[in-house]
Structure formats: C-alpha cells, structure tokens
Chain A
Amino acid sequence: MDFVEKRLTQRAKRGDREAFAELIEIYKDKIFQLAYRMVGNRQDAEDIAQETFLRVYANLHSYDDSYKFSTWIYRIATNLCIDRGRKKRPDFSLDEETEPGQGMDWYSRLSSSERTPEEKVVTQELQETVQDALSHLQPKYRSIMILRYIEDLSLQEISDIVKLPITTIKTRIHRGREALRSKLRLM
C-alpha cells in the first residue's frame, strides 16, 4: 500500500492527473469522514475535503516522500477543520453543561440542511447522538478522538499528524474519553 502511494505521489508530483485522481479515490472518504465528524454537516465537510485535495495538489512539490502521505494529508485536513471551526462556530468547552436550547439548535440546523437519501438511512438516532457528543468536545480533543476511533489511527500516527508528543495525545484521549462518557452514559 505504501509502495503504491509512493509511486502515485511521485507521478502526481510530475503533473500526472490520473495518478492524482487515484490518490483522491483512496483518501476521499477518509478525509470527508474526518471533516464531517468535525463540522457536523455534509456541505461544509465536502468543502473542506475539496479544499484539502486542492491544497495537497498545490503543495505536492514541497511534499517530502520520506514521510507517509496519509500523515501529510490528515494534517492538512485537520488544520482546515480547526480553522473553519474558529471562523464559523463558537468553541464548546469540555466542562460546559449543555443548555436545553442548544441541542435543539444543533438538531434543527442538521435537519434543515439538504441531505441525500443515503444520509437519511445512515443518520439515525444513534448517529446523531454520537455526532452531538463529538460536537460538544473542543476541536483539539474532537480531532484527536476522531483520528483515534473513527479513522482508527495509531497514537504514533496521530502524534505525527498534529505534531505533538505522544504523552500529550494520550492526555487528550483520556480527557476526550471522559467527556464522551459523561455525554453518552445516560443513553
């Protein structure tokens, strides 16, 4: 897998669009998934995923292929998500209690945005609950919980992506787990 990606990135670096299209095919769902769980709606998530690939393309010349391509693309996507969150939405504190109205706001926002049939099937009560719980984490915890438990990455990889030591990642995962536990325990 790594070998295939290396070949593809080298070809894409030389301006080969077919190779770049293959890279998109490999990563589009992973990146979209990360973005969707970060921002909570399809449209923004697709925008972020698109922007991620455009940035990857524009910066291919500076990509050093002694590092994993996945680490690099996840870093770009994570940064975009966090930047987007800063601009668009107020951050939620970990310890903040949810006000009764806030859950409604989140819910109505989701249902008002356009959804595909596929999404209607997928988005069931459980899914919304999980998304709700994630959205109440601070972005720096949220991104790490998503990378760990949805993208299924190792602690080492996450540490490479966000450029923080493993001990910091562990602390954030511990706190993130506790926050999710207190959100989801009553289910």
Chain B
Amino acid sequence: MECRDMISLIHEYLDGDTDELTNQHLQTHMKTCVSCRQHMHELQRAIAFVQSASHIHVSSDFTARVLAQLPAPTKKNLFSSWLRNHPFLTAAAVFFFLMTGSLCANWFDRDNILQVSSSNMDKLKIDRERNVVVVPAGISIDGDLVVRNGNVEVQGEVHGNVVAIEGKVFVASTAQVVGNTESIEAIFDWIWYEVKNIGNDLLPALP
C-alpha cells in the first residue's frame, strides 16, 4: 500500500473509525516507514497543542451585562413571576376568588319562590298571598328560622335566630326572640351572612 493511502488511514484512525485489522495494518507499515510515523506523530502533536489551548474565561461581570441588555420584561411576565414567588398569597387569592364566586352564584341563582327552613315547620303559619311567614302568638319554636323571598312576622317565641333573606323581619311587641333577627337585602349582607355562618361552623365554641 502506498504512503498516500496510509495518510488517509491515519486520519480515519485519529477519528476512531478504524477496526482492529486496519490498526494492525497501520502499525506494521509504520514500523518500516519513517515518514508515515513522523506524519502521524506530527498530527497527534498538533491536536495536543490545540487541546492545550482551552483555558480562558469570560470576564466575571459578563452575565450581569447580558442581563442588563435584555429587553424590559412585559407586565404579563412580571405578574407570572410574582405569582411563582408568592405561592401562599396566590393560593389565598384563588380561594377567595372561588368563595366569592360561589356566594354570588348562590345570591343570583335564586328564584322568587318562598322558602322556609325551620325545625318546627308545622307550627308556622305561611301566608302565601302576602308572602309572609307568621310565628303565631303563644307558639314557641326551637332553633333558627330562615325565610327566603318573604317577610317574617314574629308574634310568638323563637329560641334561635330569625333571618329573612330578601325580606323583612317584623317583631311584634308580644314576641320573644332568643337569637338575633336579621334582614338581608343586599349582596354584601348576604356575603357577610355566609361568611359568619362559615365562621360559626368552624368555631362552634363561640356564642
């Protein structure tokens, strides 16, 4: 084989592309051929020189300088990075948003049908024409009385709260109400009422 062919074999060898047989072939040739041996040696030396040249670092403020040249962050990016940095506040905000949403939905989704909730329904007098729920005189009701879309007239006794949502509570002079009476007519009253209820459920020990 000619030395010219050997040179291209040497390059293949340097790229790690030669098999065992070719390597042996190359070795045998180089034992006898001084110029090829020399050539190979010089190539390896050149590679080693280039590889030795790799010790240089960029100046230490490089990163800061690049960052300073970046375009200003958009509002959207600022907002999303704020959210990432404050996970607890984000969770609280989401919770608050959903709570408000469901309360409002409760408020707006109602129909205009008179609804009454009490543990002593049979003792109540419901006047559908006037949209009034009456607690007759001389009658005593245990537990809360909640009425929606109507007024409440209390002549007897109620051992609990009396609440009228979208309505009014009339308390006669003979009446006795152990708990609070409340008329809820605006959405903020409604939200406050719901929040108070949640609070009361969570803290049953408080009066």
Binding site for B on A (CB under 8 A): 14-17, 20-21, 24-25, 28-29, 32-33, 36-37, 46, 49-50, 53-54, 57-58, 116, 118-119, 122, 126-127, 129-131, 133-134, 145, 149-150, 152, 155, 170, 173-174, 177-178, 180-181, 183-185, 187
Give the residue among A116, A127, A183 with the most B Cβ atoms within 10 A: A127
Chain B residues numbered 1-20 whose CB sits less than 8 Å from any CB in chain A: 8, 11, 14-15, 17
Complex formed: what's the CA distance from A17 to B84 in Å? Answer: 13
**Distance of A130 from chain B, by nearest CB (Å):** 4
Contacts of B58 in A (CB 8 A): 28-29, 32, 46, 49
Q: B26 to chain A: closest CB distance in Å?
A: 15
Given A155-B15, A173-B15, A184-B45, residue A17 in contact with residue B57 (CB < 8 A):
no
B74 within 8 A of A: yes
Contact B49–A129 (Cβ < 8 Å): yes
Q: Decide yes or no: A134 and B15 within 8 Å by CB, A14-B80, A32-B56 being known contacts.
A: no
Do A130 and B53 have beta carbons less than 8 Å apart?
yes
Question: Which residues on B sit within 8 Å (CB–CB) of A130?
Answer: 49-50, 52-53
Tell me the count of chain B residues lying within 8 A, CB to CB, of chain A: 37
Contact B53 A37 (CB under 8 A): yes
> Mind listing 24 A-B residue pairs with CB under 8 Å?
A14-B80, A15-B81, A17-B67, A28-B62, A28-B63, A32-B56, A32-B62, A36-B56, A49-B62, A50-B65, A54-B66, A57-B70, A122-B55, A126-B49, A127-B53, A129-B49, A130-B49, A130-B53, A174-B11, A177-B43, A177-B46, A180-B47, A180-B50, A181-B46
Report Cα–Cα, A54/B17, bound state, in Å: 38
Within 8 A of A (CB), among B60-103: 62-63, 65-67, 69-71, 73-74, 76-77, 80-81, 84
Asked whether A46 lies within 8 Å of B62 as measured between CB atoms, the reply is yes
Contacts of A20 in B (CB 8 A): 67, 70
Contact B62 A33 (CB under 8 A): no
Structural contact, B54 and A15, CB atoms closer than 8 A: no
**Taking CB as reference atom, which chain B residue is nearest A119?**
B56
Which residues of chain B are within 8 angstroms of A16 by Cβ–Cβ distance? Answer: 77, 81, 84
B185: which A residues are within 8 A, CB to CB?
none
Decide: A126 near B52, CB < 8 A? Known: A29-B57, A32-B57, A118-B57.
Answer: yes
Q: A122-B55, A185-B42 are in contact. Are A134 and B69 (CB under 8 A)?
A: no
Measured CB to CB, the nearest residue on chain A to B38 is: A185
Bound Cα distance from A45 to B11, whole angstroms:
31
Bound-state CA distance A15–B74 (Å) is 9
Min C-beta distance of A155 to chain B, whole Å: 7
Q: Are A33 and B70 interface neighbours, CB within 8 A?
A: no
